[in-house]
Every structure is written in C-alpha cells, then in structure tokens.
A and B are shown apart, each in its own frame.
Chain A
Amino acid sequence: MAQAVTAPLTQNVLRDGLILPRTPDPAAMVIFGASGDLTARKLMPALYNLALNRYLPSGFSVIGVADTALSEDEFRAHMEQAVQKFSRTQPVDRAVWKSLAEGISFVRMPFDDVDGYGRLATELERLDRERGTSGNRIFYLATAPQFFSVIIDRLGSSGIAKAGEGWKRVVVEKPFGHDLKSAQALNQAIHTVFTEQQIYRIDHYLGKETVQNVLVFRFANGIFEPIWNRRYVDHVQITVAEDIGIERRGKYYETAGALRDIFQNHLLQLLSIAAMEAPPNFDADSVRDEKVKVLKSIHPIDVANDVVRGQYGPGWVGGQQVPGYRQELNVAPISNVETFVSVRLKIDNWRWADTPFYLRTGKRLPSRASEIAIQFKNPPHLPFAKTAVQELTPNVLVMRIQPHEGASLKIGAKIPGPVMRLRTVNMDFFYGSSFLVESPDAYERLVLDCMLGDATLFAREDEVERAWALSDTIEAGWGAQAPPPFPNYEAGTWGPPEADALIERDGRRWRRP
C-alpha cells in the first residue's frame, strides 16, 4: 500500500525524541601507526565501545597502516587482544567484536612509501564498493610527530585525500608542534592538502566529561554568570598538579618541560573555558571563537616578574621516597628543564580587567588535582562589629576536574553558641554522587565527534598558534635569564618558594587543592 507523499522528508522523524547522538555516515578510518600503543590502548577500545553501544554505522571500516610484519589476521588478533585488555567494558562481546572486525584490514608500508599509498587507495576503493563507505575517510595520525608531514604529503600526492565523493578528515594527535614556528610549519604543511574544516587537532583533555561539565556548570546555571566578572571575583587560581614524576618519559620530557607539556595546552584550555564569554550556541566555531578571544586578550606577560619555574629534587611523596628530576631515567644530570611553572596572567577585557589569573602546574607535588578556583571578593562591609568576628574568609567556588569531580562553595557559617563566631564550611557537590555511571573514555567522544564532523572539542589553528605564542614568550624570557639554581623545590612540596612569593606579592595565597 504505497503512500502519497506531499513533500520529501527533510529530517529523520524516527530520530525524534531519541536521546542519542546522530549516527555518523559510513566511513573508513585509516589509522597510521596502527601497531602502536595509542591504537591498542585508546583507539581500538574506543571504536569497540562505540560499536557496542550502537554509535557506529553499518559499513564502518578500519584500515591499520604500519611498517610492522603482520598479516591481516594477525593484526585483527592483535587488536582483539588490545580490546580485551584495555576496553572499559568487560567482558568483550565476541559477536559485536566479530561484527566490527569484519571491517578491519591492514596495509603494511613505511609511511613515506609511495607504492604503499597506491595499495592503500586500492583498499579504500574496495571498502567503498563492498561496504558502502562512499569515499568518507578519516586519516588518523597516531604516529610520532616526525611522521606527520610526510604522511600528509603522501596523502596529498597520491590523491587519496582529494575531495571527490564523500568527506575527508584528518586527526592529528598532540603535541601539535613544539613552538609557534613548528606549529605554523605543520599547519602550513597540512593546509597544502586539507582545509581547516577538515583538520581535527585532538587534545584528549577536552574530551573528558569533567572538562565539558565546566562549560555546563557555567552556561547552564543562571546564578553564576552575573557574578562571574571583575566586580565580584577577586582572582582565579587554576591548578593542574601531579604527584607523579615523569615516569618513563624522560626522553620526551627533556624536550618539553612543564611549559610545553601542560601549560601550553591543558592549563590554557582551562583558562579559556573559565574566562570565555557565553557562546551564542554550542557549535564548533562559536565555542572556539570565544576561547580564542580569551587567549588574544591576555596582557603581554612580564616573564621576569610574572613567571616562576621550578625543578623537583629528591623528596617524599605519599609516604614514598622519590628521586629528583635529574636522577630520573633518560634525564641529563645537569638538566635545566622545568617540572613546575606558575604564571600570573591578566586578561584585558571588560569582564576581567585587573583580575589576576594565577596558573600553576608541576610534577611531584603533594597531591594530584586539577581545578579552577574562583575566589570572590569580601563583602564591602563587616556588620559584626563589637563581636568576636574580626574578619571574613572569602567565598571560593571550586570546580574540580580531577580527582573527585564536582564543585564546592566555601561559605562562612555561625558556630552555634551565645558568642558570634564564624567558621568556614564547604558545601561540596560530588558529581559522582549524583551520577554514579561510568563515563565514556575521552577518545570515544572525540572519535565520534570527528565522524560526525563536529570540531567543537578540537583545537583550531588560531587557538593552537596563540597558545604557542604565549608559551614562546615565556620560553624567550627564560632564555634571557640565567636559569634558577635547579633543583629548587623538594618533591612533595608545592613548588619553589618563588611561586609563593609570586602570589603573596599581591596579598594573596595559593590554595591547597
């Protein structure tokens, strides 16, 4: 019984009311570096969990690319083992895995091998034909950064990345450059093949539920925005503290330091999210426009006075004796790489003029904590004259990213009794106490967003470059100074004394997270 349709459907009416994300178009994901750690630990478990939860479309396919001696079956078996080991959901559903694995293939080739790209093109055409991927491709660069440029170049010269039928997107992993110049060069290299709309620079920090919740906290609750400005806020402290050392990453860390490893990305992301204006909507450019405006509004940094760097020496953390940075594996015994940075920033706009933002990050600090703390100004008048109350403790609103995600508000309350005495009370909200559900891994969210063409949680070119420019300013300032006498803080303490002096000069103190 055919129906007479008055107008073509413009939307999928069966989707109305389903609290589920849109389904991505069938696509082929080409993972460069498919035999590496990132693919095994993060990407393949993320893809499996997306398949398990029905987020992947029929026909979704994966081509692993690596210069490793593996047959297709061996690659699939390797991926299955990875999913069994690292998937957040256990046990692994074999039928779902089998269904996903039917779309997994492997191309062995060095990343600069022109012939290899010919074989890759043939495989992609097969998938288009047999699995309906329709020319939709994601090129995921899960390799060491030195291979990014050559892969992009070959994708361009082989014609695989050319528009034609379907969409083409490229995912680039952090670190995106190691300074402004290298980031610009990499952007330029990628832009010879892909437009900015096709580029997804991944920083898994932004895929965390907890970071996204900061945006919800600010923009879905009307009570905070009216007081979220210089009139009511005394200052803001943003902390990304780690109690661990550099683990086995000495080689990398010697070229990065805390400035590149955390400040340039995680700390500046948190700063942008805490300080940005409300975007008109939650689409990629609206959100990223507001974040970039914050970075552009940062007052030129006076490195000599507003930045402190540190390096940990031996000490005790959590009851364990730990070595100093210079004694770590693959670290030079006279290394001057910083493991701690604190910075005082000012944002030159109407909302935040003259409101300092204190940022700090460090390794081997006493505890692990990532948080944004908004300290409010004291009431203008103390109404408790002739009582025992001599001063008030300022209200502090803390948004905790990890651990124990949530928010707390520090308020003053009267101690029961005939005498007027106040004490500070924390009103704590633990996110986990209200939503005891397992959050998806950041990679699940980000990979799905990329398939859907939503770049909101990915870094844009200007955002990355602006962040590098700030980092370079600090690096250049340090280059003009003699390095401090490293190590200058003991493991298990909150950084060098100069970091305390930085904030105490303004009559303020660091919070103990």
Chain B
Amino acid sequence: MNQNHTALTARTFVDVHAIQEELDQVRWGLHADGEGSEAAQHAAAEARASVLNLITVVSNEPELGKVSQVLDRLSVTNPSRTLILLAQHTREADKLEASVSAQDRTESGHRVTTERVILHAHGEPARHLASLATPLLIPDLPVILWWPGRPQFDNPLFDDLCELSDRLVVDTDEGFDDTDLTRLLEVARRKKARAGIGDLNWARLMAWRHVAAQFFDMPGMLARLAHIHGVSIFHGHDGSTAQARLLGGWVRSRMATVGIDVPLEFRPDESFEHGICRFLIYTGGDEGPARFSLGRLRGNRLSSQIRLGDQDLADRTVRLESRATEDLLGIELTLPGHDLQFEQALAAALG
C-alpha cells in the first residue's frame, strides 16, 4: 500500500477565531493573503471527505504522544477533524494554547486529509475546554469523545464533553472497577449529558460473541438454546475480569429478553495471564445435554466445538483478531448512537 503523509502546517494560536481561520486554510488549502491563480482557486474548491469529529482528552504530554500515534494510524480509515484536549486544571497558572495541523495521506491512490487541533490548557481554562471545542467542530457530522484511561467522572469537563458528543468511547480493560462501570452505565442512562457508550473491550469480544451466536444458527441448535442452564468463563489470572464479566453479561442480557435467567460462573485459568481463555455454554432439555465451547489458542485463534451427549461434532478454527487500539477505535467509530446490546450487557454484568 502506497502511503504518503504530509503535515501541511503546524502553528500555534490562542484565539478561537484564529484557530477557525487556520483550520479553513488547512482544510481547503487557501492562501491567507487571498492571492493565488485561478487553478489554485479551482483546486481549493475540491470537496473533502470527512466522516466525523473526534475529541479526545489527555492529561499529560506522554499520553498526548501515545494518543497522537493512535490517531495518526486511525486517520487512514477515518478522515475526520480531531481535537485533542490536554487539560491540566491542577496547574495553577492559566494558560491556553492551540496548534493546528493537517495530515494529507495518499493510500492506494486515494487522498485522505485529517485536520488536528491540539488544545493545551492549564488552570481555569482547562475546566472550560468544551466551550472552545464546540465552535471548532465540523457541522452535521457525529461527535465522538474518546477518553483513554479511566474517565474523570467528577470533572465538569467530562459532563460538558459528553453533552456535546453523540458517543463516548472508553476501554474498560484499562482498570475499570465496579464503581467505574456503574458510573459509565449512568452516563448512558442519564437524562442530561447523555451519550451512547462504546467500549474497546466490547469490540475485543466481537469474535467470541460471533462464534457463540453461530452455534445456534446451526440446524436444530436453536431449540437447545432455550434450555441453556449455565455459562462458565475462564479468564486470565491477572485479576482483570471486566472482559469476562461483559461476555457473561452479554449472554445473560440476551437470554433475559426471552425470560431466561442464566447462572454465570467465572474462573481464573493459570495458563493465561490476561483476557478470556475459555467460554462454555451448557444446555439441557429434551434434546439431551450439550456443551458449546470456545477456546483461545496461542497465535490469535479461536477453536469452537460442540459436544452433544458424548458425541463431538466437527470443530473448527477461526481467527481471533488481536486488534490494535486504532482498529478497535475504528470499529466503535462506525457505530452510531447507543449500542443497546452493550448497555444491557454492562447492566447484566453489574446486576
């Protein structure tokens, strides 16, 4: 894949109108002095594809560096306007700086341009960055708030940004505890500053959910699902259980829609450090006992097996993608508004 990446400009501003003007310059390639040939003006009138506004909040420079790298890679598949807010309200001296840049990429002959604004604030301005972000958004496009790490649920900036966003994306694998998960669910359910929730950890579960659902697409298997009587999930021994609980919450919430309560069992597995290792669904009923099992194999693969009574059906091996943050984020960015299945799974995981 041929790739060309050019930073068109990177200058520093402190005034919102100056930032807006610079954004126009980098977006359309206009010359500030108004000069330019007719051909240049024609080129300036070329339309640009943009699919969303992305706001992300970081609290220090190293985090800014990491996030910038993810966004660089993300921009290949999501031409967007990105605002990175470096909010350091604990620093006393007031400070507000902005830098504007545009990345122009050519991928397989397609030109993609992404504009990026970094807003760096200390002291009081750091609490009001949402007021600066609002006029910088491209109208009519969805606004996604990506909050790396555990969100500062009590920071007013969090509420302000949720209010102007269609969707909040977090990663519950980054040390979320029950309180964090509960607060997250509240964001999806509250009346004011309500945003849809996306979770990179949920996106990581996609293959597990997909293959588990496929078991019951097979002829004759749906009837067995009606007699589900338990789920066991084996997870890594590092103490992080958010992913396993979400998967359990998913089965439980889905089955609750048809009035079936599913007992969940979680067990650490010493052979894996992190994440889900095995996922077993047990069914009974008139069709007899059955076990539907998924197991993570070394080398990013998932094996699936069905055991009916004492008979094993054909098993298969499929890919279990190990996705980078930008890929998981890319998945979440394509989902509009509220993901009810996720919200219900989260509620069931907490319930």
Contact = CB atoms under 8 A, between A and B. Distances in A.
B216 interface: yes
A6 interface: yes
B308 to A, nearest CB: 10
Contacts, number: 160
A96 B304 CA distance: 12
B341 A9 contact: no
Interface string B270-301: 00000000000000110000000000010101
Interface stretch (A182-190, A366-374, A423-431, A502-510): A423-431
Contact of A3 (B79, B222, B260): B260
A22 B217 contact: yes
Given A26-B218, A96-B301, A13 B316 contact: no
The winner among A93, A423, A433 for most chain B CB atoms within 10 A is: A433
Contact of B223 (A8, A53, A58): A8
A54 B77 contact: no
A368 to B, nearest CB: 13
A158 B79 CA distance: 57
B77 A3 contact: no
Interface string A4-40: 0111110111111111101101100000000000000
A58 B316 CA distance: 6
Interface stretch (A70-78, A138-146, A286-294, A434-442): A434-442
Nearest to A409: B47
A177 interface: no
A482 interface: no
A423 B39 CA distance: 11
Nearest to A437: B77
A15 B255 CA distance: 11
A427 B38 CA distance: 17
Contacts of B259: 5-6
B4 to A, nearest CB: 13
A53 B207 CA distance: 9
B41 A52 contact: no
Contact of A58 (B41, B76, B206, B306): B306
A471 B219 CA distance: 44
Nearest to A435: B77
B213 A14 contact: yes
A404 B109 contact: yes
Nearest to A434: B49
A18 B213 contact: yes
Contacts of B251: 14
Contacts of A1: 229-230, 263
Contacts of B109: 403-404, 432
B110 A430 contact: yes
Interface string A318-354: 0000000000000000000000000000000000000
A134 B42 CA distance: 63
A433 B111 contact: yes
Contacts of B47: 427-429
B136 interface: no
A418 interface: no
B110 A436 contact: yes
9 contacts: A1-B229, A17-B342, A52-B318, A58-B218, A99-B316, A134-B219, A413-B45, A432-B108, A433-B110
Interface of B: 38, 41-42, 45-47, 49, 51, 76-77, 79, 107-112, 206-207, 209-214, 216-219, 222-223, 225-230, 251, 254-255, 257-263, 284-285, 297, 299, 301, 304, 306, 313-319, 335, 339-342
Given A13-B258, A54-B214, 12 more contacts: A3-B228, A5-B226, A8-B226, A17-B339, A19-B335, A51-B316, A52-B319, A54-B210, A58-B313, A93-B301, A416-B41, A423-B42
